[in-house]
């Protein structure tokens, strides 16, 4: 009986160590839904009234995406680190908060790697490098004349 007790104690200690080790690890960020507001590090991309799901406190179910993407489409105004590049009103997606405003947001880091619009664009042709002459594609050129149908 003492051997069984020792095994049980070792099993409990092992499980307890695994639980404490898992608590110290940071959960990977992914799209999630929660009641109320999105946690820190997330942006709200959808809202709906769901009192049947959110029974304690705020009856609003929100969809949250982790910050860090180059482009985000969020309810309300853009989060810190993002510039607004467009907006629209979509109350069916974002509810009545801010009049259903959906902002299209671009990461400021992404904007820094884009070409400077004041320097002008590249016009193609002639600024697109060397190109093949017309008719030098992958398929053979079409025949210059159509052959007469064969008579039987």
- Which tens digit of pLDDT belongs to each residue from 15-56? 434 444 444 456 678 899 999 999 999 999 999 999 999 988
Angle formed at CA 130 by CA 126 and CA 132, multiple of 5 degrees:
105
Give the C-alpha separation, 114 to 33, whole Å: 33
- Which tens digit of pLDDT belongs to each residue from 52-107? 999 888 899 999 999 998 999 999 999 999 999 999 999 999 988 788 999 999 99
């Amino acid at each position: 009986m003492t051997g069984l007790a020792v095994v049980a104690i070792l099993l409990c200690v092992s499980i307890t160590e695994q639980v404490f080790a898992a608590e110290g690890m940071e959960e990977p960020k992914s799209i999630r839904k929660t009641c109320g507001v999105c946690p820190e590090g997330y942006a709200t991309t959808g809202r709906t009234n769901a009192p049947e799901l959110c029974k304690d406190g705020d009856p609003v179910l929100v969809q949250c995406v982790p910050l860090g993407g180059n482009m985000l489409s969020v309810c309300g105004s853009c989060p810190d680190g993002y510039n607004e590049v467009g907006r629209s009103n979509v109350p069916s997606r974002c509810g009545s908060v801010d009049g259903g405003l959906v902002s299209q947001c671009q990461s400021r880091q992404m904007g820094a790697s884009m070409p400077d619009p004041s320097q002008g664009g590249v016009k193609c042709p002639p600024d697109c490098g060397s190109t093949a002459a017309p008719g030098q594609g992958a398929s053979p050129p079409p025949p210059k004349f159509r052959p007469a149908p064969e008579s039987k």
